[in-house]
Structure 1
Amino acid sequence: MTSRAVALRRTVERYAPVLLAVVVAAGVWGAATGSLGVRSPLPRVLVLAVAVLAGWAAATVRVRRWPLFVTAAVTWLLLAAWPAVAVASWQAGLRLRDRRRLAGFLAGAALVAVAGVVIGVVVGGERRLTTATPANALAMFAWTVLFPLVVGLWVRARRDTLAALRDRAERLEREQEARAERVRAEERARIAREMHDVVAHRVSLMVVHAGALEVTATDPATVDTATLIRSTGREALTDLREVLGVLRQPAPAGEPATIGTAGLAGVDDLVRESRAAGLRVDRHDGGTPRPVSATVGRTVYRVVQEALTNVRKHAPGADTTVRLRYLPGGLEISVRTGPPAGGPARPGADDRPAGGTALPGAGLGLIGLRERVELLGGRLEVGPRGGGFLVRALIPVEEAT
């Protein structure tokens, strides 16, 4: 259903009681004054009061039904006005679900019809000819009671059918989503097993060999390097276990799956690790520090981590500056790399560090970083600057109240 159709439907539902009240009041007035029925000899003030009362009863039928039923009987017996009777019969078919109540309504309508015939015979004249003769009385009963009642029953049955079909469609959609979630969970478990078999084994071997080198080496620089490799490998194993845990155990609905990544406090660790790995990294902060959400903290950590990873891969000899600047409406993170000894820094290029072996990479780190920043309403700027390279992110941060 289009938005225009939905808006039209809501407008009709909002003003339907008022429209029904106007139609019923106007119909009763027209029937009592002779335009739509038998002209009543009663004073116009009384006719107007009864018409307004009938309109009010029709407007409140969603809350209370009995005022409309009583008013319909009064308008027929007092004025021989049929519009309120027709609307009451339609609403009875639409809203009376119990068979006993429906039978009671028909019995009451029959009694009112009989009483109307008696009144017509007593009053005589045009009213007797119109409402009191057997043929006209049966025709009026069929037209004002039975036909609207059948229409109301048909509309109610159609609504019930549509509601049942809608419920069935929603149930099938929920079942389909549940099946898809089971398939995703099985796929996550399979990926977790494969990652454990392929990656964890090799990283564990790296840690074991680094530990052996740390024990057997005599050169202090070699010992420090082996210690760094061993500690980094253990942290990688810890992160891998957390990733596997997320894959095996999906987060509850509505909650994002997160990994135990350090926030702002972890930026110092990243700088310290990079310095231990031989990078020339400085850190500077600006503005007045203030608390940020865990999501913002993780994003800041990832920005710095990805930028320093690219520095290690593509410009290990360049001077690098990590800067966090607290702004009135956000937090700016920048990692600026100067020109390396071998030429301009180009993340994604096949630069080879001192060992002669290129560090592998998928080239998707900056893409994923941009998506992470933009999800928080921020923006990421990446590109060459002054012969070096700049990664700068601006993340909005709400002011504390």
Structure 2
Amino acid sequence: MTYGDAGIVERSTPWALGAAVFLLSMASASGSVGVESTLPDPVLVAVAAASAVAAARAGHSLGPLVAVGAVAYAWLVMWPAAVAASYYAGTRLRRRDLWLYTGGAVAVFSFSTLVSHRIGGYRALVVDTPANAILMSGVMIGLPLVAGLWVRARRQVLATMRERSEQLLREQVLRAERARGQERARIAREMHDVVAHRVSLMVLHAGALEVGAPDERTAEAAALIGDTGREALSDLREVLGVLRSRDPVRDPQPTLADLDRLLDQTRALGIVVDRHDEGPARPLSPVVERTAYRVVQEALTNVRKHAADARTDVFVRYRPTGLEVVVRNEPAPGASGDLPGSGWGLVGLRERVELVGGRLEAGPRDEAGFQVVARIPAT
């Protein structure tokens, strides 16, 4: 059963109960399942209708159903409303109120017995005899009351189980979050101890080389290495902050506006890099621009590692459905590829692009050389 079906059943149950009480009340008044009444039909219909409405509204207020049930049984031996009232009393009343209800029900049955004895006839035979009185009180008060108490106990057990289940789920989520936090803190410590220490040494050595450089070209190269190392340390501190904090205050992330500065850093190493923008430029979401920037950054890093001074072209193409970034380098026969690489740069880059719904292609070109193509949908 779906949630929609459950809602329909929950809304229709009170009216179904009201209809059942009305039909049974009319059957009781006609003598089919009770004592036949000599009152006019309009009176019987009115009492049955009042019983039905009170039963349908018992989920909101139990008092009217108790009152109608007591009057209908004492006056006409019309029992359906009394049965419904006993059931609802078992599901809703507290212990003290439950005892009061039971005492009131016994009083109503006693009064009905006296009335039946005075009226005599078939009604006295049904209600006034001790055996029938005990049987009817047990069927119309005892059984519905026990059924209501059982339903209430079952609901309480289910509610307790549901609460415990939710508590266990919350505890499991907290344990998982704590474990993730501890693992992130461990990774942050490892990165700080290994990567940050080595990059700091590189920056210090670059500064020493800049101060004692024998010529201006060496000093410029050392200054560039120092600046790059300091930027790397800044990025690393940001990453470590993300790992250590659940809600870190992040520095502004790079976008396409920072692309020229990235290209200038590569040109300072002696690599010829040309940028080509195609299509009308338009603002894109920060996620798209940041992803495009990281694609170019990783591709230029691979050029510096594996293609030495190969000429490189960077294409930024604004498409109607998104952005296409192409980084293409010519072959460099003299490249030695001595710089080490983790081997995970393009793998991580592909995952980054696919996370935003894009696609990354990287591989050798037909005309020789290498190219990286990223197609990033606009978001």
After TM superposition, the score normalised by the length of structure 2 is 0.88
Amino acid at match of 1:369: L
Amino acid at match of 2:256: L
| Aligned mate of 2:148, from 138, 149, 152 | 152
| Aligned mate of 1:232, from 216, 228, 233 | 228
Q: Count how many residue pairs are aligned between Structure 1 and Structure 2.
A: 374
Please list the CA deviations of residues 132-161 of structure 1 after superposition, one character each: whole Å capped at 9, or x if unmatched: 222211211111111111111111112112
Tell me the equivalent position of 1:361: 342
Please list the CA deviations of residues 106-143 of structure 1 after superposition, one character each: whole Å capped at 9, or x if unmatched: 12212211221122223322222112222211211111
Tell me the equivalent position of 2:268: 276
Over 3 Å counting, the alpha-carbon distance change for 1:201 and 1:338 in structure 2 is closer
Structure-2 separation of matches of 1:148 and 1:115: 20
Could you tell me which runs of 5 or more consecutive residues in structure 1 were left unpaired when the two chains were aligned. Answer: 343-352
Structure-2 separation of matches of 1:20 and 1:374: 56
Structure-2 separation of matches of 1:360 and 1:106: 84
Amino acid at match of 1:393: R
Deviation, 1:191, is 2.1
Tell me the equivalent position of 1:298: 290
The percent identity for this pair of structures is 45
Could you tell me which runs of 5 or more consecutive residues in structure 2 were left unpaired when the two chains were aligned. Answer: none
| Aligned mate of 2:128, from 123, 132, 136 | 132
Q: What secondary structure sits across from 1:147 in the alignment?
A: helix
Give yes or no for contact 2:306–2:337 (8 Å, CA) kept in 1.
no
Please list the CA deviations of residues 257-309 of structure 1 after superposition, one character each: whole Å capped at 9, or x if unmatched: 967532333333222222223242314153252363x4444333323323333
Please list the CA deviations of residues 93-118 of structure 1 after superposition, one character each: whole Å capped at 9, or x if unmatched: 1011x222112211221221122112
Give yes or no for contact 2:354–2:360 (8 Å, CA) kept in 1.
no
Amino acid at match of 1:395: P
Amino acid at match of 1:264: L
Instruction: Indicate yes or no: 2:358 matched with 1:379.
Output: yes
Structure-to-structure mapping, 1:2-401, within 5 angstroms: 4=1, 8-96=5-93, 98-251=94-247, 260-277=252-269, 278-284=271-277, 286-290=279-283, 292=285, 294-316=286-308, 317-325=310-318, 327=320, 330-342=321-333, 354=335, 356-363=337-344, 365-376=345-356, 378-384=357-363, 386-387=366-367, 388-397=370-379
Please list the CA deviations of residues 214-271 of structure 1 after superposition, one character each: whole Å capped at 9, or x if unmatched: 222244433332222111111111111122222222238xxxx967532333333222
Amino acid at match of 2:348: G
Q: What secondary structure sits across from 2:232 in the alignment?
A: helix
Deviation, 1:6, is 5.2
Deviation, 1:334, is 1.1
Over 3 Å counting, the alpha-carbon distance change for 1:106 and 1:375 in structure 2 is farther
Structure-2 separation of matches of 1:190 and 1:273: 33
Q: What secondary structure sits across from 2:315 in the alignment?
A: strand
Structure-1 separation of matches of 2:360 and 2:197: 37
Deviation, 1:358, is 4.0
After TM superposition, the score normalised by the length of structure 1 is 0.84
Structure-2 separation of matches of 1:290 and 1:177: 39
Structure-2 separation of matches of 1:296 and 1:306: 16
Give yes or no for contact 1:38–1:80 (8 Å, CA) kept in 2.
yes
